[in-house]
Structure 1
Amino acid sequence: MDLQLTGRVVLVTGGSDGLGAALVRTLVAEGARVAFCGRDEARLHAVAEQVIGGPGEAFGRVADVRDPQALAGFVTAATDRFGAVHALVNNAGASSTGPFEKHADEVWQADLDLKLYAAIRACRLVLPLLREAGGGAIVNSLAIGARAPGAGSTPTSVTRAAGLALTKALSKEFGPDGVRVNAVLVGLVRSGQWERAAAREKIAVEDLYHRMGHNSDIPLGRVGRAEEFADLVAFLVSARAAYLTGTAINFDGGLSPVA
């Protein structure tokens, strides 16, 4: 199926590792022009090199999405390079969980800054550009805890629930402008953070994934793959998903108790 992404400009935050890096590779393979950001310059360069020679093109920029000026600079660099924006994927974020009583205000604020306020600011920056382009798409990468929070899941579950509300509100407000806003709720998926966790535990990463897949009651019996996440998001930002907005899709192998 042709996703009709050739020449479309897509911005991806948190694009230097894991799910974001997989998405950059998939979008370029589909012919899109991709601007992506992250905090690690070496990882940005590595992803950019991986897509050289693809049907599309990509460039990475060092930017901490928690910094409003850095985020604005990223969006400006993307428009200077490509001349337009057709889609935004808010993917930056890392899990922060633990006992509620151990989280000081600083922990909550850091999580909100990284996952919620960064997405709010990115949407605010990009919405005028999407209107200029005649419409477009925003995808917020969230987590299944947004719908089904468990014990010890704060602050991430609360921040992600706010992101879910943001998704629905913006879909209602900007639908008349032809801007679609959807979310992907991620469960357990292979990523760089789990590779680093395996290294800290001094075990093979495949052993960790096997343990996670069989000890987490995932109906499909395995953790997801970053490439599978990328396929879903690429579809959501494409013209093939033209009648989808205001929805949140569980990407979790059936793990969440809430559909």
Structure 2
Amino acid sequence: MHLSLDGKRALVTGGSRGLGLAMARAFAAAGARVALAAREEGPLAEAAASLPGSVAVSADLATAEGCERAFVAAEAGLGGVDILVNNAGTSRRAPFAGLTDAEWQADLDLKLFAAIRLTRLAWPGMAARRFGRVLNVLNTGAKAPPAGGAPTAVSRAAGLALTKVLAGEGAPLGINVNALLVGKIDSDQWVRRHAADPQGQSYEEWMRDAGRAIPMGRMGRAEEFAAMALALVSGAGDYVTGTAINVDGGLSPVP
């Protein structure tokens, strides 16, 4: 099956590297024009250079001003936004008792409020065109929050609830809203983790060991995650909304 996004316009947050960049590349290969939003200008410029015709905007999506800046630039550069991928955010995990109000707020601002604000900006145009795709990238902790998983698991669980609320409101308007839940997938985040704790192993060895606990016996690839994202935002996902799909090789205890 050929998955086409010809004529569609996509804004991908956290699009300068890792899963965000993999999704942007998959969308572009399927015919979409893409806009990338991220905070760091260097990686963002490199990512945009690898995607001819893309729009890049540096913005702090943890703020209302940054979200508006990113959306306005994407809409101006692309002529509209048909597909919104809320992917900004990293995994922040710590024992509950040690987390401060500021740390909780920072996590919620980037992972939950950025999705709320950007979707609110994109919603009127999608409704007017009677077509829209919103994809919220969460993690498997949204369904199965582990001990020590705050604040990430809590903000991601809220993102799961947001997905369902929006799906119900968007369905009559032609707007499909879904979530993809990340398990252990080879990305820039794992490169940083290895750098902090190499245990005397090469990255390949370290990743191979990390993948042994997964039922499939290996870590996932960013391209595999991007393929599922493409299916959901393309015509193949026309009758799919309000779902939260684990992309985790069978790791999560919750389907």
- The normalised TM-score by structure 1 is 0.95
Is 1:225 matched with 2:217? Answer: no
Show the counterpart of 2:46.
Answer: 46
CA RMSD of aligned residues (A): 1.1
**Amino acid corresponding to residue 6 of structure 2 in structure 1:** T
Q: State how far apart, in whole Å, the 2-side matches of 1:59 and 1:180 are.
A: 24
3-state SS of paired residue (1:76):
helix
Aligned pairs, number: 253
Contact 2:95 2:150 in 1 (8 A): yes
Q: State how far apart, in whole Å, the 2-side matches of 1:156 and 1:227 are.
A: 24
Contact 1:12 1:24 in 2 (8 A): yes
3-state SS of paired residue (1:22):
helix
Counterparts of 1:132-171 in structure 2, within 5 Å, are 132-171=128-167
Q: State how far apart, in whole Å, the 2-side matches of 1:140 and 1:13 are.
A: 10
Q: State how far apart, in whole Å, the 2-side matches of 1:47 and 1:6 are.
A: 21
> What's the offset of the Cα at 1:105?
1.1
Contact 2:142 2:156 in 1 (8 A): yes
* Selected match of 2:211 from 199, 210, 213: 213
Q: State how far apart, in whole Å, the 2-side matches of 1:107 and 1:237 are.
A: 33
Show the counterpart of 2:240.
Answer: 244
Counterparts of 1:17-166 in structure 2, within 5 Å, are 17-52=17-52, 57-166=53-162
**Structure 1 gap segments, 5+ residues each:** none
Contact 2:55 2:78 in 1 (8 A): no
Q: State how far apart, in whole Å, the 1-side matches of 2:224 and 2:9 are.
A: 21
Q: State how far apart, in whole Å, the 2-side matches of 1:58 and 1:246 are.
A: 29
**Amino acid corresponding to residue 32 of structure 1 in structure 2:** A
Once the two structures are superposed, what CA deviation does each residue of 1:33-75 show, in whole Å capped at 9, x if it has no partner? 00111011111111112223xxxx3121101111211211111
* Selected match of 2:197 from 198, 201, 206: 201
Which 4+ residue blocks in structure 1 deviate beyond 3 angstroms? Answer: none
**Structure 2 gap segments, 5+ residues each:** none
**Amino acid corresponding to residue 117 of structure 2 in structure 1:** R
Q: State how far apart, in whole Å, the 2-side matches of 1:18 and 1:119 are.
A: 18
Q: State how far apart, in whole Å, the 2-side matches of 1:146 and 1:115 are.
A: 12
Q: State how far apart, in whole Å, the 2-side matches of 1:48 and 1:70 are.
A: 19
Once the two structures are superposed, what CA deviation does each residue of 1:77-116 show, in whole Å capped at 9, x if it has no partner? 1111221211100000101111111111111111101100
Contact 1:85 1:133 in 2 (8 A): no
Instruction: Give % identity.
Output: 49
Q: State how far apart, in whole Å, the 2-side matches of 1:78 and 1:212 are.
A: 37
Q: State how far apart, in whole Å, the 2-side matches of 1:81 and 1:50 are.
A: 17
Q: State how far apart, in whole Å, the 2-side matches of 1:87 and 1:230 are.
A: 14
- The normalised TM-score by structure 2 is 0.96
